[in-house]
Structure 1
């Protein structure tokens, strides 16, 4: 997260329709989600709940974040889009994280976790991105990834290879995603890839709120 991350944002943005018979007051549930997404560890978040006389397990708070189904909002029309794919490990298994960032705002536009990196999966990622945002006229900034370059070509997107320049600013975004994913894997050693993918969407939502 950015060094100046704060508890910005409105608690009403969290949809708790998934709640059925949860004994915790909804305001405290929303506060817990906000705290955890704002860099509080699960342990510290649980401690805050304790101040209000509510005792909950770390896994309970994690489930609240997971079930809230948070993800970056769509409808953006960026001039440039930096895309990247990087390998991460979950439960000693290797996955590939695809991510797209608006380099002018450093906001995450879309993320996806895949079990491999292929040209087909890269094309699918860009197809999902284009469904969420207006990127037809954007210039895509790619590194040496042949699969992403090929995917851009197949979709008819204007792209250029860029190792520095606008990509420098977004590299820290990609590094932070990778670092946080490692922490997620350490805290939830039995979590599956689908759960990790949902967590990444929540992280992307929080990142966009706090930058």
Structure 2
């Protein structure tokens, strides 16, 4: 299927080990996952798959994305980390999206969704980040948020205040996430926080693979 290969590109980062009895060819499943994470709504992804003679529901594509359990790679050695948070709306509820980005590679190192924002939760986020990556040489770039700076002090991590510059790497990721999730409603509409976080982590893997 040369046309499929041309559209799907390298999909080494997609793990379809969860597949047992799936009537859709794996190459087309990978294509569906890539197309959705690249920016297509579930409806438009379904339409693209129909061009290859595959008729699947939006829920089927949704399930492929979430069953893959995509997680950003580990064992990075960043020199700088842009640390920030932003608000994500799930129906009428507000959640806080934490992200850590390597501004030199533009890779998302860690991403989590919390129901609130506190110093304790920030410390938990940093502990998870430290478990995944080597932070020995890392300097965190943060804005004036006191709870971020307090959590970094408590965990013994180095940081400096930076209003613009490399810290904007996290802002760029936030802008893209917000653009993507507002451009079509069936991604976060009526979604559970765990489902939204799963999509955000899958987006992070796609983002890292294409940068």
Q: CA deviation at 1:209?
A: 1.2
SS in 2 for 1:15: coil
Q: Which residue of 2 aligns with 1:40?
A: 40
Q: Which residue of 1 aligns with 2:115?
A: 115
Q: CA deviation at 1:184?
A: 6.6
**Cα 1:136/1:65, change in 2 over 3 Å:** same
Q: CA deviation at 1:188?
A: 4.3
Aligned equivalents of 1:166 and 1:121: distance in 2? 24
Does residue 122 of structure 2 align to residue 147 of structure 1?
no
Q: Please, which moves more after superposition, 166-175 or 121-130?
A: 166-175
Q: Which residue of 2 aligns with 1:30?
A: 30
What's the TM-score once normalised by structure 2's chain length? 0.90
SS in 2 for 1:34: helix
Does residue 21 of structure 2 align to residue 14 of structure 1?
no
Q: Please, which moves more after superposition, 136-145 or 182-191?
A: 182-191
Q: CA deviation at 1:34?
A: 1.5
- 8 Å contact from structure 2 (residues 97, 111) kept in 1: yes
Q: CA deviation at 1:181?
A: 3.7
Q: Which residue of 2 aligns with 1:3?
A: none
**Cα 1:116/1:57, change in 2 over 3 Å:** same
| Unpaired runs of at least 5, structure 2 | 1-5
- 8 Å contact from structure 2 (residues 41, 184) kept in 1: no
**Cα 1:90/1:170, change in 2 over 3 Å:** same
RMSD: 1.9
- 8 Å contact from structure 1 (residues 137, 157) kept in 2: no
| Unpaired runs of at least 5, structure 1 | 1-5
Q: CA deviation at 1:13?
A: 3.1
Aligned equivalents of 1:149 and 1:58: distance in 2? 42
What are the within-5 Å matches in structure 2 for residues 91-130 of structure 1? 91-130=91-130
Aligned equivalents of 2:201 and 2:7: distance in 1? 18
SS in 1 for 2:76: coil
Deviations 1:123-170 (A, max 9, x none): 000001111111132100011211111111011011011101212344
- 8 Å contact from structure 1 (residues 118, 147) kept in 2: yes
**Cα 1:143/1:116, change in 2 over 3 Å:** same
